[in-house]
């Protein structure tokens, strides 16, 4: 490209960005523009939310005295948190970790006793079954809230990650762990099949069906080295501090990208796991038929052409 054509292209890109911004701004009333608030997640008892970097939210399981075991309140707070951050324009990436000695000991068995009491109050077996199905669906939706969240989720796992804990992190986009981390699909040891996501998601994260079935049938522990080699985690850190530093650094890098591009990418990656290649191609074509007209694409293209500073993208 000669200098004259380059300058023409540069000016066209800048003009398109200006026109697009004008149309977008004029087309939105103040009521349509989402307001920035963290109030939706500040009040949670078992979840702590902080903002370590711009557009990066750190969600921490926070029942350290109970080894971050999942009681009913914590289950509901997890879903509320990820559903809220999914539509929070100040959030672009989420880092998920846990306070205390371990990531999670799994389900709080005392909450299971409450469920047993609820079932005992129902006489008819059909109605017991329907009640149980509704309870399980509620917990399935909690785990799936990480996957349906429009923002990428980076799980930072230290020490033990058992039962409900491994179900939870299996729904994350990216998984890192410490060298001392270990995992256990424990449900088979308490006489049940895992039913909230790990049987569906782990086989897609790990490269060996044989290994997945071994882990699910035996309930044995597997450690960070095996988790890394099998593809369940993509990085292993020496300490928890280094783990969090690495996870937040990666989140910051992702947060610098266009939120339009990143969220569309996650949507298509999740969709494509359950559909044929052609169906995935059809979906991303439909998405990009609109999103390639966005100011983000024009600004990023202009920056590439002009070798200028990285663009700062507006909230989404």
pLDDT tens for residues 166-210? 999 999 999 999 999 999 999 999 999 999 999 999 999 998 999
Low-confidence ranges of the chain (pLDDT < 70): 1-39
Q: Six-digit token pair at 11?
A: 């000016």
pLDDT score, position 298: 81
pLDDT score, position 303: 83
pLDDT score, position 38: 66
pLDDT score, position 39: 67
Domain residue ranges in the chain:
3-33+259-306, 39-255
CATH architecture classification, 39-255:
Alpha-Beta Complex (3.90)
Local structure of 71: helix, strand or coil: coil
Predicted structure pTM score? 0.86
Q: Six-digit token pair at 154?
A: 């980076």
From first CA to last CA, the distance across the chain in angstroms is: 34
Residues paired with 154 in a beta bridge: 95, 174
The 10 Å Cβ neighbour count of residue 190 is 12
Please give the backbone phi and psi of residue 40, each rounded to the nearest 5 degrees, phi first.
-65, -25
pLDDT score, position 144: 98
d(CA 101, CA 104): 9
């Amino acid at each position: 490209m000669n200098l004259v054509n380059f300058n023409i292209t540069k000016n066209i890109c800048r003009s398109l960005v200006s026109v697009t911004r004008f149309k977008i701004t004029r087309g939105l009333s103040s009521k349509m523009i989402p307001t920035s608030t963290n109030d939706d997640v500040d009040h949670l008892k078992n979840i702590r939310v902080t903002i370590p970097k711009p557009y990066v939210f750190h969600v921490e399981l926070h029942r350290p005295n109970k080894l971050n075991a999942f009681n009913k309140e914590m289950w509901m707070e997890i879903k509320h948190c990820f559903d809220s951050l999914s539509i929070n324009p100040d959030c672009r990436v989420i880092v998920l970790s846990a306070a205390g000695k371990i990531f999670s000991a799994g389900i709080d068995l005392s909450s299971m006793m409450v469920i047993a009491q609820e079932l005992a109050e129902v006489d008819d077996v059909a109605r017991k079954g329907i009640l149980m199905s509704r309870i399980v669906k509620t917990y399935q939706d909690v785990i799936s809230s990480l996957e349906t969240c429009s923002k990428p989720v980076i799980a930072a796992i230290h020490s033990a990650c058992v039962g409900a804990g491994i179900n939870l992190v299996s729904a994350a986009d990216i998984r890192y762990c410490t060298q001392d981390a270990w995992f256990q699909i424990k449900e088979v040891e308490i006489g049940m099949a895992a039913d909230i996501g790990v049987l569906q998601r782990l086989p897609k994260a790990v490269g060996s069906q044989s290994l997945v079935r071994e882990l699910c049938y035996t309930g044995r522990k597997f450690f960070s080295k095996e988790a890394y080699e099998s593809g369940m985690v993509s990085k292993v850190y020496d300490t928890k501090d280094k783990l969090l530093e690495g996870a937040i650094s990666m989140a910051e890098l992702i947060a610098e990208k266009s939120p339009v591009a990143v969220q569309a990418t996650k949507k298509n990656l999740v969709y494509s796991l359950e559909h044929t290649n052609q169906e995935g191609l059809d979906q991303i074509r439909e998405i990009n038929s609109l999103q390639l007209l966005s100011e983000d694409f024009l600004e990023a293209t202009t920056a590439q052409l002009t070798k200028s500073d990285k663009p700062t993208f507006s909230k989404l």
